[in-house]
Structure 1
Amino acid sequence: MRERTVTPLPGGPADWPAPPWVRTWSTRRGPDLGLQGSTAPELVHQHRQWLAQTLRIRPWWLTQVHGVEVRTDRDEREEGADAAVTRQTGIGCLVLTADCLPVLFCHEREPVVGAAHAGWRGLAAGVLEHTLQAMAVDPAGVLAWLGPAIGPQAFEVGAEVRAHFLRSQPEAGEAFRPGQEGRWWADLPALARLRLARLGVTRIYGGGHCTVRENELFYSYRKEGPGAGRMGHVVWMAEQP
C-alpha cells in the first residue's frame, strides 16, 4: 500500500561534478509523487506542493507514457512527455520512476538542464537522443547522472527486448546475460551508458542503486505491483552562469 502520511522529504542531490548553478534532488521511499494509479490523489498533490516549496522551484509534472517526447520552454506539453529541457532558472525538470531509469542532464558551461524517464521502451525508442537534441549543446560538455533503477540482477526480459536493442546498436549485447528458458537479464544503466557514449556523452555518473534489491529505500513496481509509489528526480538552475 502507498504511504498515506506526509513525511520529511527523503533523498538527496545527485553525486556528480555539476556547475555551481545546477541543483538536483532525488527522492526516495516516503512521499508518493505519482498520480497515475494512486488511491490517494489529494495526498499526492500535497506531496508535490511540499516538494516545490521545499526546493523553491516550479516543477514540470509530466504524464509519462514510455515515449520520447520532450517538454521544452517553447513546447510546454505535459501529456505524453517523458523528458524535459529548460534554460530558465527555477524551473524543475522532473521525472517520476519506480524501476525505470531516471537520467538528469546539465552542461559544464551552457545554462541548460534536462531530465529523461528511460524505461527500456523509451530508451530503445530514443528518449535520451531526443533529450540531448532538445538541449542543443555540444555533447562533449554534457554531464549525465543515472538515478536508482531496476538492476541487472533483477531485470529479466524476453529475447524480443534484447533483439530490439541489438537492431539499432549491436554492442548493446554486452548489457545482457543469458537467463533461463530463452530469457535474458538486462542491465538498464549499462544500456543507457552505451547510448550516451554513442552520442558523445562520456561524463556519466551514478547508476549504482537497484530499486528491487534496495526496496527498503526505493519504490519498485516490479516488486510491489500497482500499489507502488513514485519517486521524483529533478534538476534545475538556481542562477544563470
Structure 2
Amino acid sequence: MPCPSSPFIPIAAPGLHTLQLDDGRTLALLRPDWPAPPWVRALFTTRQGGCSPAPWDGWNLGDHVGDAPARVAANRALLQRAMTALDARAPQPVFVQQVHGCDVLPLDALSRDGLQSAEPGCNGSDCDAAVGQRTAPLVADAALASQPGLACTMLVADCLPVLLAHRQARVVAAIHAGWRGLAGQNGQGVLEHSLAQFAQAVQQRCGLPAAQAARDTLAWLGPCIGPAAFEVGAEVRQAFLAGQPASAQAAVARCFSAPSSAQSPTPSAAQARPAPGTADQMRWYANLPALARQRLQALGVEAVYGNDGSAPWCTLGNAQWFFSHRRDARRLGSSGRMAACIWIDEAQPLPQ
C-alpha cells in the first residue's frame, strides 16, 4: 500500500492504481506488489490515459503499430511523467525492437538517448557523440541494468512481461516473454538467457555464485493473455516439451489444457480465437504465467510474484485496462502496446 503522501491511488485488482498529473490528466498503471529492495523502481502501464484514438486508445506506447509518431511521442512523455512520480530523478526508458528472440541488451553501455555506444569504453560527452551517429534500432527481448541512469523497458500486448530484481545486488532486468521466446530452442529460451546474464552481473557486483544469485532473485510477472483465452496449436505445446528433462515433462504438460477441460473463454476470447486446426491437429489452452514459473523454478528462482493466471491478469479479457493483440488486431486491424519498466533509483542507498 502506498504511503498517505503517495500520488498513486489503488483502485482495483491486480494492483491497479491511478495517478493524477498536475495538468488534471489521470493515468492508470500497475505497481508491482513484491518485496523489492528500496533502490528498485518499477511500473506497468495500462491503456487508460494517453491521447491515441481507436484502435490504439488511449495510452499506446508502441511506435510500430500504425499510430501517429507525434501521439506515440506524447504518450511516451506521459510514461516519463509517471516514472518521475515514483522517482524524482527517473531515468529515460529505453525502447528496443522486440523480435520474440532471446537476446539480452545490457543498458550500462548506453547513453541517455538509448543508442548503443560505438566504443565500449567511452563515457561522458565522448560517448554521447559516438552514439549520436548510430541509427540502427536496438534489437533485444530483454534488457539488464546494474547502474542508475536508464530504465529497462519492454512493450507487450498479450505476451508476458517479466521483471527481475535482486535482494543484495543493484541489478534489474525486464524481459519480453511471448511463447516463442519463452520456449526457445531445446529448453533454452529468453528466461534462461536473461538469468544467465543476470547472475553474471550479480557475481560481478557482489561475488555471489550463480546458485546463490538465483535464490536471492525476485521475479514479477505482469499481465498477459490468460489460460482461458490463449488457444494454441499442438506445435506450441511440443515446443515447450522439447528439450525438457523427463523430470520436468509432467509439470510442463500441466500448463496446457484441452479446450473441453479449460475454463470457458469470455465472449471476446471466443471471437478472437484463431481458425480451428485440421482434424488431426489438437488444440490447447496455454498458461503462459505457469510456464514461466516452471522455467524460473528450474533456474532456482523461487520468489515469483504477480500474475497467477487468474482472470484479472488476462489482457484479452480485460479490455478496459489492457491492450490485446489477439483480441484487437483481428477485429480492429491493430492494437496498442503497454510498457513494463524497471530501474535503479540513484537517490536510494545502494549496495556495492
> TM-score under structure 2 normalisation?
0.64
* Distance in 1 between residues matched to 2:156 and 2:46, nearest whole Å: 10
* Counterpart position of 1:9: 27
Q: Secondary structure at the match of 1:109?
A: coil
How far off its partner does 1:191 sit?
0.3
* Distance in 1 between residues matched to 2:253 and 2:30, nearest whole Å: 33
Please point out which of 112, 120, 125 is paired with 2:179.
Answer: 120
How far off its partner does 1:206 sit?
0.6
- Aligned pairs for 1:151-166 within 5 A: 151-166=226-241
Q: Secondary structure at the match of 1:144?
A: strand
* Distance in 2 between residues matched to 1:202 and 1:165, nearest whole Å: 20
Supply the AA of the counterpart residue of 1:18: A
CA distances 1:137-178 after superposition (whole Å, capped 9, x unpaired):
311110000000000000000001101111122231110011
Q: Please say which of residues 11-20 and 153-162 is displaced more in the overlay.
A: 11-20
Please point out which of 36, 39, 43 is paired with 1:21.
Answer: 39
How far off its partner does 1:48 sit?
1.2
* Distance in 1 between residues matched to 2:81 and 2:220, nearest whole Å: 24
List gaps (5 residues or longer) in structure 1.
1-6
Supply the AA of the counterpart residue of 2:300: G
* Counterpart position of 2:196: 133
* Distance in 2 between residues matched to 1:41 and 1:9, nearest whole Å: 20
* Distance in 2 between residues matched to 1:130 and 1:52, nearest whole Å: 29
Q: Secondary structure at the match of 1:10?
A: strand
Q: Please say which of residues 18-27 and 76-85 is displaced more in the overlay.
A: 76-85
Shift >6 Å, 4+ stretches: none
Question: Residue 185 in 1 paired to residue 203 in 2?
Answer: no
* Superposition RMSD in Å: 1.7
Q: Is the Cα contact below 8 Å between 2:65 and 2:336 reproduced in 1?
A: no
Please point out which of 333, 336, 339 is paired with 1:229.
Answer: 336
- Aligned pairs for 1:60-79 within 5 A: 60-72=94-106, 73-74=108-109, 78-79=137-138
* Distance in 1 between residues matched to 2:102 and 2:93, nearest whole Å: 19
Q: Please say which of residues 74-83 and 16-25 is displaced more in the overlay.
A: 74-83
Supply the AA of the counterpart residue of 2:156: T
Supply the AA of the counterpart residue of 1:176: F
* Distance in 2 between residues matched to 1:25 and 1:9, nearest whole Å: 12
Please point out which of 199, 209, 219 is paired with 2:323.
Answer: 219
* Distance in 1 between residues matched to 2:327 and 2:154, nearest whole Å: 20
Question: Residue 194 in 1 paired to residue 290 in 2?
Answer: no
* Distance in 2 between residues matched to 1:43 and 1:145, nearest whole Å: 29
How far off its partner does 1:79 sit?
2.8
* Distance in 2 between residues matched to 1:237 and 1:115, nearest whole Å: 12
* Counterpart position of 2:5: none
* Distance in 2 between residues matched to 1:98 and 1:199, nearest whole Å: 26
Please point out which of 167, 173, 194 is paired with 1:108.
Answer: 167
Q: Secondary structure at the match of 1:103?
A: strand
Q: Is the Cα contact below 8 Å between 2:255 and 2:286 reproduced in 1?
A: yes
* Distance in 2 between residues matched to 1:179 and 1:155, nearest whole Å: 10
Q: Please say which of residues 30-39 and 19-28 is displaced more in the overlay.
A: 30-39
List gaps (5 residues or longer) in structure 2.
1-24, 49-58, 84-89, 117-136, 203-212, 261-278
* Counterpart position of 1:39: 67
* Distance in 2 between residues matched to 1:17 and 1:157, nearest whole Å: 34
* Distance in 2 between residues matched to 1:12 and 1:120, nearest whole Å: 23
Q: Is the Cα contact below 8 Å between 1:9 and 1:51 reproduced in 2?
A: no
